[in-house]
Structures are given as structure tokens and as C-alpha cells.
Structure 1
Amino acid sequence: MDPARTAWGLAAILTLGGGCGAPAGDEPAIGEARSGILGGRPAMAEERLATVAVVDTDDVEECSGVLIAPRVVVTAAHCVVLQESSTGEITAALGPKNLAVVAGALDVAEASADQKFPLREVVRHPAFAGAAGTMPASGLADVNDIALLLLERPVEALEPAAIPPLWRVDEILSDRGMVVIAGYGEQGSTGADAGALYIAETPYRERNGTELIAGGSGEPDGCAGDSGGPAYVIAGDQRWLLGVSARALPSQEGGCGSGGVYTLLPAYTPWLEQGSHHEYVSLDGTPEREQSASCAVAGSPGRPAEHAGGGALVAAVTLGARRARSRRPR
């Protein structure tokens, strides 16, 4: 990727307020963990945007996420479950006793006590079924890989990201054709710099009703630990959050660097409002157009949420088990 182009794009996104052919290849299981930002660079303080880290009880980074309201973080559903390694079947749900959020730190290892946020509730989309199928060759499906982390106290150091109305998505994507991705994950298979926030710009490629594809061979990409991390887009004078990282694209090579699939958040705004107990409030759009677009989305994003609070099934997991789950090869 042209460093000058990347530098321009990142500089532009920092100055703003606010807050459908894909390669054929192997067919990995749906729900396979999204394997830090490969080809990116360490983020500066002003590039934290609304990106946060999701950590385990030992403060080890497991996934990334995005702040969408002062006490609401959106991430990937596969970040809040345990899955059987060979089949991808969900074996346990994780709850507030298992996870926390680090917000405002450039490196999880250097986070202060006031940058660590306990959870009061974990909310997973009820239609997420782990690896209950295989990916089509295009890479796009309807997986509902989305979850919410509800915090015990508000984050004040970061401005929540703005999610556009669904009817504006194509307009926004055609305006630039590039997305900014970020995450606290690994820098390739060695695990280097896991826990540090990295950022990069990569091209948008295509979308369906509930997912979008960004990146590809030779372009910046996510790696293990970036699941749940953002895909931001600039349109005019607005910075938008369009997606969260879900999984790698089908690839002959495997591993990081093949491009990624992101859950398309504007398709889920009714569910986001409901799952957050209306702490997240969607932006006003054109009601008739937004309702029409939402009705066309498969998978009923507005279905009731599955909540994991203090009385729900909470998995008792070891550090080793958690890391084996989130670091599964792409």
C-alpha cells in the first residue's frame, strides 16, 4: 500500500468529528475466529478514536471492540463464547466474570486502573450459531457475528463512534472507497505486539445486507486479536463506523493478510438499541427509506437479544483455554 495514501487517509479521518467479485478459495467454517493489524502502524493518542480492547480476567488482550455509547461497546459474537476447536460448536457463553474492557490506552500492558472497565452484562445476537455452516466462495454470508458489552461505568476519554443509517451505506462507501481499520491484535503469526493498538487504511470491496469485505492480498488486514475491531469510513465531514471485524476471507494461503469480513453495523441498529436497553440511540435518518432497507435484511437483526449477566451461564475458563479460542488460526 502507498504510504503517502495511507498517511493522508489517516490524517483526514482524525480531523473529522462524529462519532457488491471476491477471491475463491478454501471454505472455512462460519464463526472461525478473526485472526492485530497486519501492515499497519502503532496508533498515536489521537488515533484511539473509539477503539477499545477486550481482555480476560488476567488482563490479557483477547479481542477488540468499539465504543458506541458511553457505557456500550460493540464487538464480535465469537469473542464472547467458547467454541469447540474442530467443529466451531458453541460450548459456553462468557459473561461479566470472564471479560472486561480497556479504553483509552495505547497498550493493554500499560493501562491504568481507571482505563479498565468491568462489565455488567454481555449481550450476544441470538442468531449467531458459531460454525454452523461453511462460507460461500464470495466470503459474504449472514452470520450475525455481533455482541454488546455493557459497562459498569461510562468511558469519558473516548468519543463514541457514529453508525450511519442503513440507507446511507452505499453513498458513504462510494464517497471514498477506503476504510480505516484498527485493533489490539497480533502482527502476524508470531504474536508480536499483541495488546498494542495498531491502525491502517485498506480498500472497501463489496457488501451484502449484513456484511462487508475490506482489504485483500497485499493490503493491510486484521490478525488474531482484532476480532470486533472497527471499520471506519470518512464521508464528507463525518467519520462513520460501518463494521466490526468478524473473520478472514477464504484464502489458499490462510493466515493474516487475505482480507477480512466485517459485520455491517447499520443493518443492526434496532438490535443495538434493544440489546443496550436503549443506551445506544441510532441516528435519525429518512424514516421511510431506513425502514424499507431494514426490512430487506435477512436474519432479523431485531430479534430479542441473548443476555449473559450475573445469573446467566458463565463459563469458568482458564487463561490457556481463552487464548486457544481467540488465537485459532485463520
Structure 2
Amino acid sequence: MTTTTDRPQDPMAAVEHLARMIAGDDEQRFVLVYHAFANQVDGFLNSDGADGYRLARSLLRRGVSPLTRSAVGTEAPADSIYHDPVYLANMRAVVADRARIIGGVPTSDFPDCVAIGSANAWCCSGTLVSPNVVVTAGHCVDGGCGARVFFGKDVEFPEDGEVIRARTALAHPDYRPPRPTGDIAVLVLERPASITPRPIATREQLVGAAFVRLAGYGNTDVHSSGGYGRRRVVDVPIASDHPRHGADAATEFVAGAPFLDRDSCNGDSGGPAYVQSGGQWFLAGATSRATASSLRPCGDGGIYTRVASYEKWLWTVPGALKP
């Protein structure tokens, strides 16, 4: 029996406690139950005013959401990251660490994370790695998204940021659709940016990490129907490099959402996956695509290109300045 003195006071601690009560020692079920309830709490905590009131009334009317009911009563697909032992261990570490960002929040931090656009629309994300070099996804450039870069928190407020055009937009020669690997590209800017570039993580720094911090301007719902334009961050656990996830272990890694509805999404393509080492953040990956077992456009885990695997190539692109 739970007494007043051992009830968790922190909302996410309460979610963890409730999920463990329901799931017992079943780690896979714990992950699904925790995610489902956490989505409800996170949605409420990140709303305010009239929106928060409407959300609270909605939750009271319908009780537990269909997502929560399905998570409590069903299992994830057999090849999902939610059956991956590395992911399960890292996910527990993220849940237990209250300093981690587990809700997908707007941020003014990480100014090296930029929005990338065509001539008339914003469409991807990227990272400044030298005064005039931005790393993004090959499929962004291949799809015509690589003409300009926005430095700022929100593309809807261009006066609060800076736009620099790209002189060169070049996808890596190994990126040859429909083959998904080699999904990285370089934008060489017309002039150096005033933002401090982000150093690139070594392979060893990524190996020692339990999670990565994702940043980007992408869509904010799991069906990828809208919300592009505001820089947001979220921490997600790293999974194993098992082939069933669909990643090339030599040049890519896999990470998943610690909240079932919080993950990289369309518009985050090319955006950074940071790893922390020695109190500093380094660029480990560029957002590429969903895992092979994903059931939805966003929210079931993602594959990230290892930037270090292509670092030598970055500096061979004509006009690229080294940090």
C-alpha cells in the first residue's frame, strides 16, 4: 500500500511509479505504459490558459486515451526498438534522470541548429559545423531544400534571426535514392555566420552515450500534419545497431522517443542529434529517417547519419572553411 510519504511528488516520477505498478517487471510493457501516460501528463503540463483548461476537460470527459489503452493492453511489434535491450536500459536511465528533456520543448539554446529552406519555403533542419558550413540530410538537398539557412528560434519571426543563402548545396556521392544510406549533405554559405559552430563528436563519444539530444524545426505531431517552424529539443535513448532496425551500423545509429509521441519528425530532417561529453555538446548525428519497424510517420524511433563517418569529406567540398 502506498502511503502519503512515498507518493511521488514530481509529475514524471508519478508517471514512472504508476507505470511500474501496472507493468511490474515486464520492461517492454513498462516502456509502453510509461510513454502512454506520460503523453497525457506532458500535454497538460505544456498547455496554459484556455488551452490547458480545454485539455483538462477533454481528458476528464474521455478518461484514458485510446493510445494509453492500447499501450496498456498490447505489445509493440516484435522488431520495434521497444524490444531492444540496449534501448530499454538507456530508456530507464533517461526516465530516472530528471535533468533530461522528455517533453519536446521550444528552446533558444543550440543556435547552431538552423532551419533550411528552398527559395520560397522552409523545409528541413541542419547544423553549423564551421563558419560557413552547414550539415543537413542528403534527401533534403536532393528534394530541393538547400537554398538558404535561417539562424533564429522561429521562422515566423525572421526579424529576430538571420538568413544566409547557400552558395553550394551538395549531397554525399554515396546517397543514391532509393537506397537510404549516405544521407548527408553540405551547404556552403555565401558568407560566414556569426554563430559559434558545433564541434563534431568522435565515434568514441557516441559509443559512451545513453541518449542523444535532438533539435530541429520539424512538425510537432506523430502524423506529421503541421507545426514546422520553431526550434525544439528532446532527449531520446540510443538503441542497438541490430540490422532489424534498418540502419547501417558503420555509418548510422538508432535512437527512440522516451515519450511515445516525442521524436524527430518531418522538417527535422538533417537536424542535429547531439551527444554530451565532458560537459559539452557535440554533433553526433544528422536526422535521416524512421526505423524499419515504424508504424507512424513520427514517434516510433529514428535513424541518424553518423557525421563523424563523413567528416573528412565535409572539408573537401569547394569553399568549405574548417572550424
Identity across matched positions, percent: 34
**Of 191, 196, 210, the match for 2:251:** 210
CA distance in 2, matches of 1:162, 1:129: 27
What corresponds to 2:265 in structure 1? Answer: 223
What corresponds to 2:196 in structure 1? Answer: 159
8 Å CA contact retained: 1:77, 1:145: yes
What corresponds to 1:51 in structure 2? Answer: 113
8 Å CA contact retained: 1:52, 1:65: yes
Instruction: Give per-residue Cα distances to partners, 1:101-142, cap 9 Å, x unaligned.
Output: 001x1111101286011111111111111113xxxxxxxxx7
Which AA in structure 1 matches 2:149? Answer: V
CA distance in 1, matches of 2:210, 2:199: 18
Once the two structures are TM-superposed, the CA of residue 206 in structure 1 deviates from its matched residue by 2.8
Instruction: Give per-residue Cα distances to partners, 1:243-291, cap 9 Å, x unaligned.
Output: 100001123522210111000011111101112545135xxxxxxxxxx
**Of 165, 170, 189, the match for 1:123:** 170
Question: What pairs up with 1:58-69 in 2 under 5 angstroms?
Answer: 58=120, 60-69=121-130
**Of 67, 73, 85, the match for 2:134:** 73
Question: What pairs up with 1:11-22 in 2 under 5 angstroms?
Answer: none
Once the two structures are TM-superposed, the CA of residue 159 in structure 1 deviates from its matched residue by 1.4
RMSD: 2.7
What corresponds to 1:186 in structure 2? Answer: 219
Rg larger for: 2
**Of 111, 121, 133, the match for 2:158:** 111
Judged with a 3 Å threshold, the aligned counterparts in structure 2 of structure 1 residues 245 and 23 are, in CA distance, closer, same or farther, namely farther
CA distance in 1, matches of 2:271, 2:294: 24
8 Å CA contact retained: 1:55, 1:99: yes
CA distance in 1, matches of 2:149, 2:252: 25
CA distance in 2, matches of 1:24, 1:81: 30
TM, length-normalised to structure 1: 0.61
- Give 3-state SS (helix, strand or coil) of 1:78's partner: helix
CA distance in 2, matches of 1:181, 1:101: 19
Judged with a 3 Å threshold, the aligned counterparts in structure 2 of structure 1 residues 164 and 112 are, in CA distance, closer, same or farther, namely same
Judged with a 3 Å threshold, the aligned counterparts in structure 2 of structure 1 residues 275 and 211 are, in CA distance, closer, same or farther, namely same
Question: What pairs up with 1:135-284 in 2 under 5 angstroms?
Answer: 143-156=181-194, 158-165=195-202, 169-170=203-204, 172-188=205-221, 189=223, 191-207=225-241, 208-216=249-257, 218-219=259-260, 220-251=262-293, 253-275=295-317, 277-281=319-323
For this pair of structures, how many residues does the alignment match? 222
**Of 105, 110, 125, the match for 1:41:** 105
Runs (4 or more) in structure 1 with deviation over 6 Å come to none
- Give 3-state SS (helix, strand or coil) of 1:128's partner: coil
CA distance in 1, matches of 2:168, 2:137: 15
